[in-house]
């Protein structure tokens, strides 16, 4: 049985940990409000961008003449998985759920005889994937030094992805991130960004007819790279909100667990102390009776 001093030290240690988890929960709650607002604000723009590209792509008569970012290379042998995770831990299953989805996709593609490589954004995802796919990780981008995510961060990543595509390093690129739904629900999501998967255009009498100048292929050549940057930026913002929501939930659970542990340790301490007092009283009374 542990001594009273050891029990006091344990209780003090758990109380100190509880203060840290409570503080982290409050910080995550403060950051979540801004991150959630940014993620929600980015959704309409990204969705509208896809709709516009879908309308323009629908007007292209010969897709073989469309830019490669839309038409593809004609092959689906080489796949690049763009995995976006966080730079820090202590956020529950946030990172592991994204990595699990990417790992399952990679194993399924490998089983079909496809070549798979990884482009990691975020240190935590790269650390987990490195255990199984170290040789297949071609680039890792860390954003630890970035205080506030901006479009320029996503644009730099998109430029590297497009350069890899232009040099023939892959045929299909899939983006993995966690879509923010609520504080307790973050949805791991995979979406193909190269070749672009655009919403289908509704055909019918009510559909307006547009004339484009310059022609559709030139507009697509300009907008498709920008759309990739927009989708990556949206994924980074969704991840930022999901990370803070997951951290807030995880730290709240840790704080509650620390409270329960303190109660149990305090109860054990009181029982041990009472047993020692009782034992000392028995020894005193026994000694007095012996005299």
Residues annotated as part of the active site:
91
Using H for helix, E for strand and C for coil, what is the string for the chain?
CCCHHHHHHHHHHHHHHHHHHHHHHHHHHHHHHHHHHHHHHHHHHHHHHHHHHHHHHHCCCCHHHCCHHHHCCCCCCEEEEEEECCCCCCCCCHHHHHHHHHHHHHHHHHHCCCEEEEEEECHHHHHHHHHHHHHHEEEEECCCCCCCCCHHHHHHHHHHHHHHHHCCCCCEEEEEEEEEEECCEEEEEEEEEECCCCCCCCCCCCCCCCCCCCCHHHHHHHHHHHHHHHHHHHHHHHHHHHHHHHHHHHHHHHHHHHHHHHHHHHHHHHHHHHHHHHHHHHHHHHHHHHC
């Amino acid at each position: 049985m542990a001594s009273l001093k050891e029990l006091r030290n344990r209780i003090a240690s758990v109380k100190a940990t509880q203060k840290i988890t409570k503080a982290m929960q409050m910080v995550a709650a403060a950051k979540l409000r801004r991150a959630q607002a940014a993620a929600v604000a980015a959704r309409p723009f990204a969705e509208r961008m896809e709709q516009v590209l879908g309308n323009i792509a629908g007007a292209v008569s010969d897709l073989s003449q469309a830019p490669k970012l839309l038409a593809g290379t004609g092959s689906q042998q080489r796949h690049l998985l763009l995995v976006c995770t966080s730079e820090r831990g202590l956020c529950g299953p946030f990172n592991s759920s994204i990595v699990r989805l990417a790992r399952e996709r990679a194993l399924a593609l490998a089983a079909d005889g496809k070549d798979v490589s990884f482009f990691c954004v975020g240190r935590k995802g790269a650390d987990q994937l490195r255990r199984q796919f170290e040789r297949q990780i071609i680039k890792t981008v860390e954003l630890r030094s970035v205080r506030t995510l901006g479009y320029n961060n996503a644009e730099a990543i998109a430029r590297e992805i497009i350069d890899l595509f232009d040099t023939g390093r892959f045929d299909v690129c899939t983006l993995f991130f966690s879509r923010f739904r609520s504080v307790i629900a973050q949805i791991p999501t995979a979406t193909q960004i190269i070749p672009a998967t655009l919403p289908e255009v509704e055909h019918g009498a009510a559909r307006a007819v547009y004339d484009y100048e310059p022609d559709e292929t030139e507009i697509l050549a300009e907008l498709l790279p920008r759309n990739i940057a927009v989708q990556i930026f949206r994924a980074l913002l969704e991840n930022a909100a999901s990370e803070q929501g997951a951290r807030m939930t995880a730290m709240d659970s840790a704080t509650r667990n620390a409270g329960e542990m303190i109660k149990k340790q305090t109860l054990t301490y009181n029982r041990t102390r009472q047993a020692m007092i009782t034992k000392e009283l028995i020894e005193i009374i026994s000694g007095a009776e012996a005299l």
